[in-house]
Structure 1
Amino acid sequence: MKYSQIKKLNTHFPKHFLWGGATAANQIEGAFDKDGKGLSTSDMAAYKDPYASGKVDNFTFNVTSKELEFYENHPEKTLFPKRWGIDFYHNYKEDIALFAEMGFNVFRLSISWVRIFPTGLESAPNEAGLAFYDKVFDECAKYGIEPLVTMSHYEMPIELTKKYNGWVNRALVQIFEKYAKVILERYKHKVKYWITFNEMNMNLNSLYTGAGVLADLVDNPLQAAYQASHHQFLASALAVKAARDIIPDAKVGCMINHIESYAKTTKPEDQLQSVKSNQLNMFYPDVQARGEYPSYITRYFADQNIDIQMQDEDEAILREGKVDYVAISYYMSHVTEAREDAAKLAGSFDSPIKNEYLKLTQWDWPIDATGLRIALIKLYDRYELPLFVAENGLGAKDVLSSDDNIHDDYRIDYLKQHIAAVKDAIEDGVDVFGYTVWGCIDLISCGTSQMSKRYGFIYVDQDDQGKGSLKRIPKDSFYWYKKVIASNGEDLT
């Protein structure tokens, strides 16, 4: 190889690197009953005290058919914090102005499917819902902020759960394709960057969260999770194809919650289990980036008695709808070992095996910035596609001081380590084109629907019961991240 063929070492973030923050419609918007919006699966996520058991409970919510019936008939007896969010619906101008003050050039948000099609079954979209996102995107454009839009972020019309039991039914593929085409056509001059489904691999942890499936209505939850995922693969591929037809310069990505798996020991069986755990985590982008099911999944499906129902045209649809980039959320790494429940733990969100070398967050999540660097290297080696860190951040119980400030040095330290890891990965030769901090403004927790687990650079005055002024207060990390962006990641002090 001639020297001229070797890429020049890149020791800096790219010149046009995308810096910003990430949110989800169901966790910030509120206004659940305004302007024709229907009810979503997230609107049926009841508040759960994460400390009720005496220890922090990180379990992502599930809903049974009986619970859903109770929530519908007795809504006054249960708190549903995602219905009020932080009222971004009425405060989006103020919030986007604060993002602009930090220097954001990208804002990751999602579109609420039920604002566009309230039940998912309408023949025509809801104009008021479409108009809302027009206003949000126009406000972003005013400040030079690129929207990065997730089509489906842990919410879908609750009527599709009731009628079809969510994504286990193939009917949702066509229903989603219609929705995707409507938003692509409507925002083709305003949105270039898209993600089809948020963290699709989380179907393995909560059927209801990602797939709108009531687990008590299926015989084999694992079978249902992979069948639902197959239908989402098809819907994603069709959305990618539609985006290329409608928006010539569109960039459409897939996304997983990436959890790097380490073997507990050098014991060969532990090493093998680590390989298999990482394969299950990579399975989702393997299908969406390569356009076909990987060979290793054949034995796994056989071992777990999983039989995916496919139609003749499915393989062609997957091949034709390969994504342009791979996005990840990254919060922690895992430790794996060969044990009886190894297959059950593989692909899970939170492992009971803790790494003795890592500190834990207040929610017992291991802090491992090096794991992010490892993940980015492996992903780029595997796919040779651009990568985007779509979620990374620290959830903590922030305390408002007597001088009306939040001194969150712990968050600054966490983000400093992880941004440095991204820079190291870029120097390692990885093509990373953006980084958005999760929950850039305090929002409602996905799993427990609590407010007190805060990620944001901006404090929102609201408690777990929805009480508060909703006043927005920049934290110390707000001004630190502003400096990071202004220096294009060079100044992390």
Structure 2
Amino acid sequence: MAQTFPDHFLWGGATAANQLEGAYLEDGKGWSTADTALYMGKDARKTMSLGDKMTKDRVLQAMEDQSGHYPKRHGIDFYHRYEEDIALMAEMGFKTFRLSISWPRIFPNGDDVQPNEAGLAFYDRVFDTCLKYGIEPLVTISHYEFPLQLALKKNGWLSRDTIDYFVHYAETLFERYKDKVKYWLTFNEINIIGMTGYLSGGILADGIEHMLEAQYQAGHHQFVASALVVQKCHEIIPNAQIGCMLARMEAYPETCNPKDVLASVNADEMNFFYTDVQIRGEYPSYMQKFFAEHAIEIKFEPQDKDILKQGTVDFLSFSYYMSMVVGESQQEETNGNLFGSKVNPYLQASDWGWQIDPIGLRTTMKKMYQRYNVPLFIVENGLGAEDVVTDDQKIHDFYRIDYLRSHIEQIALAIEEGVEIMGYTPWGCIDLVSASTSEMSKRYGFIYVDLDDDGEGTLERLRKDSFYWYQKVIATNGADLS
């Protein structure tokens, strides 16, 4: 492939604190919602635990449970092994490393006045290690975990008070790391709060009669918080860039039936609602009908419209794993897609039922860039699979290489077509705990971690075949994908 990617293109990989750090109550860290996530097991792969509704009683039971298996409490022990892991990323040639900061590691209860110095110092060490190797940290401020005490006291993002706590948290990060971090994201996959209402939103189901309205109200509070944080970032770190983050699935009409085509347009609108607010700075008119049809009334404060308009993001980052099909037929849906989707007969699927569609990535990049005209950043993309370690300690993950190659080829074509793309950070660059089912067997990484679903293993790190392949891709700036 001829030289296509710009010289400043940010190649790297992506992770989340709650899925790899471990040390869940170490050095003053408080409880997070992710710390209550039980291992779901292989039987739960098709049901997706992210959408589970939690109650106060269930939370308290999980906190008291010392015999259950809660993999996110231990992760892959990145907290103690970050130097080794970042050194491996540097060996691959990473230009950037996407990671998140655990809010309760900085403010154990979420609403503390003073931060936990041990937590701040940990991320100082992580960022210093990255910068030693010339790796730019790309930091997500909130990624699928929330201070548990704020969930119990305030019902999370349902309370407007949470906006102030979040702004205080983010401002603390900006002041502390202003000389170390220049790429930031506010909320991970903000558009699926309907699935992660407890995990990322701290919303408990107790006493909520209209859960859909509650989720959109919590989302509104996150919009306002994001806008305020964007303004704080620009004030404190003038040379920084701060973006939003969307879970993106391209939605195809099942047929050329106009009703199916309209269904795909409607699916796009529900997906783009979140980026419309964060990039354009206002609620789109098409949501008025949706809110009316579902008896949803969002409580706005008088200043909210100005806040949203003044706090628009600098770039749009997104995850992309699959596309989906929508239409009026009664065709059976796929089992594994993150959102319900009809089977696309033109696509193959992963072992988890996720339909693999690299051309869909190019389609969605072109569509988003034309809609918003802001830089794009692909901050999650990858293939979850069950890797096998051979007797000589090798992992021949040709299927992952094939997946990534086909997607990178489409990114290159989109760049040639004029789409501005900042970088590419495949998900789970090192094996980590699954967000949905807390499995280890669903592996995404270039680096294998010796840990099984039961939490047994040496935690030894091994380089997969994809490690060396991605090393070559980065070294040639995407010119050699063989």
TM over 0.5: yes
Q: By how many angstroms is 1:50 displaced?
A: 2.9
Match of 2:127 in 1: 137
Paired with 1:297 and 1:61, the residues of 2 have a C-alpha distance of 23
Paired with 1:154 and 1:145, the residues of 2 have a C-alpha distance of 24
Match of 1:468 in 2: 457
Paired with 1:136 and 1:205, the residues of 2 have a C-alpha distance of 30
Paired with 2:35 and 2:49, the residues of 1 have a C-alpha distance of 18
Cα gap change, 1:168 to 1:287, in 2 (>3 Å):
same
Q: Check the 8 A contact 1:207/1:221 in 2, yes or no.
A: no
- Of 275, 294, 313, which residue of structure 2 is paired with 1:323? 313
Deviations 1:13-64 (Å, cap 9, x if unpaired)? 1111000000000000001121100010100111101325xx7444425242
- Of 40, 43, 47, which residue of structure 2 is paired with 1:51? 43
Normalised by the size of structure 2, how large is the TM-score? 0.97
Q: Check the 8 A contact 1:41/1:156 in 2, yes or no.
A: yes
- Of 76, 85, 95, which residue of structure 2 is paired with 1:95? 85
Match of 1:428 in 2: 417
Q: Check the 8 A contact 2:51/2:194 in 1, yes or no.
A: no
**Tell me, what secondary structure is at the counterpart of 2:316?**
strand
Match of 1:71 in 2: 62
- Of 23, 28, 34, which residue of structure 2 is paired with 1:42? 34
The size of the alignment, in residue pairs, is: 478
Q: Which runs of 5+ in 1 are unaligned?
A: 1-9
Q: Check the 8 A contact 1:31/1:89 in 2, yes or no.
A: yes
Q: Check the 8 A contact 1:207/1:215 in 2, yes or no.
A: no
> Are 2:234 and 1:244 aligned?
yes
Cα gap change, 1:21 to 1:305, in 2 (>3 Å):
same
Match of 1:446 in 2: 435
- Of 101, 104, 111, which residue of structure 2 is paired with 1:111? 101
Paired with 2:181 and 2:213, the residues of 1 have a C-alpha distance of 35
**Tell me, what secondary structure is at the counterpart of 1:109?**
strand
Paired with 2:232 and 2:441, the residues of 1 have a C-alpha distance of 40
- Taking the TM superposition and a 5 Å limit, the aligned residue runs for 1:301-380 are 301-338=291-328, 349-380=338-369
Q: By how many angstroms is 1:361 displaced?
A: 0.2
Deviations 1:436-456 (Å, cap 9, x if unpaired)? 010000000000011111000
Q: Check the 8 A contact 1:11/1:423 in 2, yes or no.
A: no
Q: What's the C-alpha RMSD, in Å, of the aligned pairs?
A: 1.8
Q: By how many angstroms is 1:368 displaced?
A: 0.2
4+ aligned runs moved over 3 Å, structure 1: 55-59, 338-341
Q: Check the 8 A contact 2:51/2:197 in 1, yes or no.
A: no
Q: By how many angstroms is 1:465 displaced?
A: 1.6
Q: Check the 8 A contact 1:326/1:388 in 2, yes or no.
A: yes
Q: Check the 8 A contact 2:318/2:380 in 1, yes or no.
A: yes
Match of 2:168 in 1: 178
> Are 2:19 and 1:30 aligned?
no
Q: By how many angstroms is 1:79 displaced?
A: 1.1
- Of 133, 151, 166, which residue of structure 1 is paired with 2:141? 151
1:182 partner amino acid? T
Match of 1:15 in 2: 7
Match of 2:446 in 1: 457
Q: Check the 8 A contact 1:257/1:330 in 2, yes or no.
A: yes
1:15 partner amino acid? D
Q: Check the 8 A contact 2:53/2:205 in 1, yes or no.
A: yes
Cα gap change, 1:132 to 1:327, in 2 (>3 Å):
same
Q: By how many angstroms is 1:254 displaced?
A: 0.1
Cα gap change, 1:256 to 1:140, in 2 (>3 Å):
same
Match of 2:203 in 1: 213
1:459 partner amino acid? Y
> Are 2:367 and 1:405 aligned?
no
Instruction: Indicate the larger mover: 210-219 or 426-435.
Output: 210-219
**Tell me, what secondary structure is at the counterpart of 1:118?**
coil
Q: By how many angstroms is 1:204 displaced?
A: 2.1
Q: State the percentage of identical aligned residues.
A: 54
Paired with 1:408 and 1:24, the residues of 2 have a C-alpha distance of 23
Q: By how many angstroms is 1:212 displaced?
A: 1.5
Paired with 1:476 and 1:438, the residues of 2 have a C-alpha distance of 17
Cα gap change, 1:354 to 1:215, in 2 (>3 Å):
farther
**Tell me, what secondary structure is at the counterpart of 1:99?**
helix
- Taking the TM superposition and a 5 Å limit, the aligned residue runs for 1:74-85 are 75-85=65-75
2:15 partner amino acid? T
- Taking the TM superposition and a 5 Å limit, the aligned residue runs for 1:254-333 are 254-333=244-323
Paired with 1:206 and 1:257, the residues of 2 have a C-alpha distance of 12
Deviations 1:252-296 (Å, cap 9, x if unpaired)? 000010011000010011100100001111111110000000111
Deviations 1:103-154 (Å, cap 9, x if unpaired)? 0010000000011000012110000000000000000010000000000001
**Tell me, what secondary structure is at the counterpart of 1:395?**
coil
